[in-house]
A = this chain, B = another copy of it.
Amino acid sequence: MTQASAPGKVYFFGEHAVVYGKPAIACAIDLRTNVGVKSSRDDSVYFVSNRKKIHIQRSPYIHETLKILSENYDIPLSGFRLIIKSTLPKASGLGSSAALVIATIGAISEEFGLNISREHIASIGHEVEKNVQGRASPTDTYISTFGGVYRMPDKVRLPTPQLTFVIGDTKTSSSTKELVEHVANLRQRYGFVDNIINAIGELCREGERYFVKGDVERIGELMLMNHSLLEVLGVGSRKLRKLVDAAMEGGAYGAKLTGAGGGGCIISITCEDRVDEISDRIKRCGGRAYVVHPTDEGLVL
């Protein structure tokens, strides 16, 4: 069986503002989705985590991936069995769909000796997400392919900082589409929303300097400010705020929601010593805690 794995990702800065042309800084994390491929008349997808098996057609991301690959390469549209193993929580803003798509492309490319370049894998992945979701940022699939830290959309690689993430999952999902629309409506209603969006963009540019310097405390301070700016835009929530506060009380350098907001996850950054304290506080608030690290490993075949 041919296997490939791809990482999830978090946003240090810039989500939502990036929709309006501002920069964002995203980072691959060492929660990964592993896809194994073998020939089979099954045409099935088997999820190891919940021991569920479904027909390939009923997995929109995998189906769309195979469709695009078969349109561009000499591979069949069917006759596979995929086995999916993932440590990434789904629909939590950590890029699980992108990781699934990139790992699938990687596994298929290996299985059939297609030798698709990484740049091309990233762009096919973006195509898949666009088709399934209606629209998609290129960030998730790009980061999942290449790993490391990038300023998007310009795809500028930044030094990977030495730090530990404690991710707090609110265990509630949200609609990215609705949250993006909410911000758009707010922007139509109030002119000063552009000042907020500009502020986030400037904050991101400011934050980039601290990746170069490796100043984790400043990165943390800016993350906290970024979170409050996202709350102004109305994409925060009480649960997200609770987890941010819990992480800060546990001694984190900084914390903020990651991704669309509304529900999903927060990320906090810290040194290794404080990891247990922060995880405990997150759990006590009703969240699920994951201790992860930035990873330079994108798609691995």
**Once bound together, how far apart are the Cα atoms of A228 and B228, in whole Å?**
6
Asked if B228 and A232 make an inter-chain contact with CB atoms under 8 angstroms apart, the answer reads: yes
Q: Which of B192, B232, B241 contacts A202 (CB 8 A)?
A: B192
Could you say which residues of chain B place their CB within 8 Å of the CB of A192? 198-200, 202-203, 206
**Once bound together, how far apart are the Cα atoms of A190 and B196, in whole Å?**
14
**Once bound together, how far apart are the Cα atoms of A195 and B192, in whole Å?**
9
**Once bound together, how far apart are the Cα atoms of A198 and B231, in whole Å?**
17
Instruction: Give the interface of A toward B (CB within 8 A).
Output: 190-192, 195-196, 198-200, 202-203, 206, 222, 225, 228-229, 231-232, 236, 238, 241, 245
**Once bound together, how far apart are the Cα atoms of A192 and B241, in whole Å?**
23
Shortest distance from the beta carbon of A222 to any chain B beta carbon, whole Å = 8
Could you say which residues of chain B place their CB within 8 Å of the CB of A236? 228
Asked if B190 and A203 make an inter-chain contact with CB atoms under 8 angstroms apart, the answer reads: yes
Q: Which of B191, B198, B222 contacts A195 (CB 8 A)?
A: B198
Q: Which of B191, B206, B229 contacts A232 (CB 8 A)?
A: B229
Could you say which residues of chain B place their CB within 8 Å of the CB of A231? 228, 231
Asked if A206 and B228 make an inter-chain contact with CB atoms under 8 angstroms apart, the answer reads: no
Q: Which residue of B lies closest to A225 (CB)?
A: B232
The A interface is mostly helix, strand or loop, or mixed, namely helix
Instruction: Check A199/B196 contact, CB under 8 A, given A228-B232, A231-B231, A238-B245.
Output: yes
Q: Which of B190, B200, B202 contacts A206 (CB 8 A)?
A: B190
Shortest distance from the beta carbon of A276 to any chain B beta carbon, whole Å = 22
Asked if A206 and B225 make an inter-chain contact with CB atoms under 8 angstroms apart, the answer reads: no
Task: Indicate the member of A202, A206, A228 with the most B CB atoms within 10 Å.
Answer: A228
Could you say which residues of chain B place their CB within 8 Å of the CB of A241? 241, 245
Q: Which residue of B lies closest to A242 (CB)?
A: B245
Q: Which residue of B lies closest to A249 (CB)?
A: B238
Could you say which residues of chain B place their CB within 8 Å of the CB of A228? 228-229, 231-232, 236
Could you say which residues of chain B place their CB within 8 Å of the CB of A222? 190
Q: Which residue of B lies closest to A192 (CB)?
A: B202
Q: List 14 extra interface pairs beyond A190-B202, A192-B202, A232-B232, CB under 8 A.
A: A190-B206, A192-B199, A195-B195, A195-B196, A195-B199, A196-B229, A225-B232, A228-B231, A228-B232, A229-B232, A231-B231, A238-B245, A241-B241, A241-B245
